[in-house]
Amino acid sequence: MSQRTSPAPTIEEVRNLLRAVIDPELGDNIVDLGMAGDITMADGIVTIGVKLTIRGCPLRAQIQKDIRSRLEVHPWVQKVKIDWGEMTADERSAVMTRARWNARENATDTAVPTSARVLAIASGKGGVGKSSVTVNLAAALAAAGKTVGVLDADIWGFSIPRMLGMPDRLEAERVEGSDKPKIIPNERRVGNGLLKVVSTGMLVEDEGTALMWRGLMLTKAVEQFLNDVHWGHLDYLVIDMPPGTGDVQMGLARMLPRTDLLIVTTPAVSAQKVAIRAADMARRSFLRVAGVIENMSAFECEHGTSYALFGTGGGQALADEIGVELLGQVPIEPTVAAGSDAGEPVVLTGTGIAAQVFLQIAASIIEDTPDVEDMAGCSARDGDVAEVGVTVRRTQDRPA
């Protein structure tokens, strides 16, 4: 066993990490739902008791994977063991009361719905293709019939409105259940899916307006995009991060701890070293890295000759170093840049390798995301909700 220099987490720290594990069907984290029980720690091994609503819950594998990946970000943790249990009828009823309360809250709340998978596209340095990856993945997910929020968290270096061909100004409106106006995302249909997009580029007069926001204001702006936007239903929220690490990432970790980072790097070894900083930052803020995307991989000319303009191997090396999968290698193709300039992501129009790789990455993300609708019955929801029969009327009645 490797030598551990970092101290063991406290029980409370473990519980906080577990608060990022959401039971997608019940729409809340496993700690507040009362699913996480005893926690013991010894020799780098965390053992945690988890009670499922019913033993054969099909979400079990997903919950297990989430618990592991959330706890393993702590440097002390070498291994995670889970003792599975089943709730009693009373415990199940209490959970259902809480889930009902959440469902009610979400119906009127404009915050990002708990059912949405949140993917932040990050990198250690600028210009590696985060925004290109954001718009192409979002468009590919929408083309697969998903409803996809796109949040341009690059507050003063925004590029999403142009890249998606959505220059319209954002409007605010009074929505049911809220006492102040909410920002209504701009929408664009893609096949059977929908993009819902917010960006500071949709708030300022024109693309050339310089926004000199720093620190707290950046975090505040992102917070507003998370809380004061009427997102409605979302399957995914894809967040285009500003270059580097810092305030926005820390703010996101605090506000949406279930965010998964996708780290973009170029194939150059120097870029990969910088990208590791983004992964380090993720570790310190306890965000999970869901995978690496190598962008600007070898360019292939029309004669089939391959030119590795920015080197080779950086994506795989980074993925290996942080212990995640390399989700894809997007080659340099002029159509990627041209598509972004024209507001038509290449994934919607192109037939080249870049478009295909973006489609494959989107497909693997969909495959890796549990479909809550298909798993109905896991919590024996219908029977129990009927049994509980509690109506929660006001937010202050939130069940303990």
Ligand X SMILES: Nc1ncnc2c1ncn2[C@@H]1O[C@H](COP(=O)(O)OP(=O)(O)OP(=O)(O)O)[C@@H](O)[C@H]1O
Query: Site map for ligand X, 340-369, x if CB under 6 A?
Result: x-------------x---------------
Please, which of residues 292-321 interact with ligand X by CB under 6 A? 295-296
First-to-final CA distance of the chain: 40
Closest-CA residue to 111 (of 40, 162, 182, 167): 182
Q: Which residue in 45, 61, 172, 337 binds ligand X (CB under 6 A)? A: 337
Q: Applying CB under 6 A, does 126 fall inside the site for ligand X?
A: yes
Query: Which of Mg ion, ligand X, none is residue 383 near (CB under 5 to 8 Å by kind)?
Result: none
What element of type H or E holds 61? helix 60-71
The nearest distance, CB 208 to ligand X, in angstroms, is 16
Q: Which residue in 29, 69, 97, 132 binds ligand X (CB under 6 A)? A: 132
Q: Which residues in this chain contact Mg ion in the complex, by CB under 5 A? A: 130-131
Q: Is 309 helix (H, G, I), strand (E, B) or coil?
A: coil
Q: Applying CB under 6 A, does 330 fall inside the site for ligand X?
A: yes
- Residue 142 or 264 with smaller CB distance to Mg ion: 264
Query: Which of Mg ion, ligand X, none is residue 333 near (CB under 5 to 8 Å by kind)?
Result: ligand X
Q: Which residue in 62, 69, 97, 159 binds ligand X (CB under 6 A)? A: 159
Distance (Å, whole) CA 65 – CA 61: 6
- Residue 51 or 130 with smaller CB distance to ligand X: 130
- For helices 11-18 and 60-71, angle between their N-to-C axes, nearest 10 degrees: 130
- Residue 114 or 340 with smaller CB distance to ligand X: 340
Please give the residue whose beta carbon sits closest to ligand X in the complex: 126
Closest-CA residue to 354 (of 150, 161, 129, 119): 129
Which DSSP letter does residue 184 get? E
Closest-CA residue to 186 (of 201, 174, 198): 198
Q: Edge-to-edge, what's the strand order for the sheet holding 260-265?
A: 186-190, 193-198, 147-152, 236-240, 117-122, 260-265, 288-297, 326-331
Residues facing 52 on adjacent strands: 86
- Residue 20 or 275 with smaller CB distance to ligand X: 275
Query: Do 324 and 292 form a contact (C-beta atoms < 8 A)?
Result: yes
The nearest distance, CB 281 to ligand X, in angstroms, is 15
Query: Which of Mg ion, ligand X, none is residue 132 near (CB under 5 to 8 Å by kind)?
Result: ligand X
Please give the residue whose beta carbon sits closest to Mg ion in the complex: 131
Query: Which of ligand X, Mg ion, none is residue 322 near (CB under 5 to 8 Å by kind)?
Result: none
In this structure, the chain runs to a length of 400
Distance (Å, whole) CA 312 – CA 168: 40
Q: Determine the interface stretch with ligand X among 33-41, 195-203, 317-325, 329-337 (rule: CB under 6 A).
A: 329-337
| 386 Cβ contact partners less than 8 Å away, ≥ 6 residues apart | none
Q: Determine the interface stretch with ligand X among 127-135, 183-191, 274-282, 373-381 (rule: CB under 6 A).
A: 127-135
The nearest distance, CB 361 to Mg ion, in angstroms, is 17
Distance (Å, whole) CA 263 – CA 294: 8
- Residue 296 or 378 with smaller CB distance to ligand X: 296
Token representation of residue 82: 């889970």
Residues facing 83 on adjacent strands: 49
Q: Applying CB under 6 A, does 324 fall inside the site for ligand X?
A: no
Please, which of residues 183-202 interact with ligand X by CB under 6 A? none
Closest-CA residue to 372 (of 59, 30, 47, 45): 59
Residues that bind ligand X (CB under 6 A): 123, 126-132, 154, 157, 159, 243, 295-296, 330, 332-333, 336-337, 340, 354
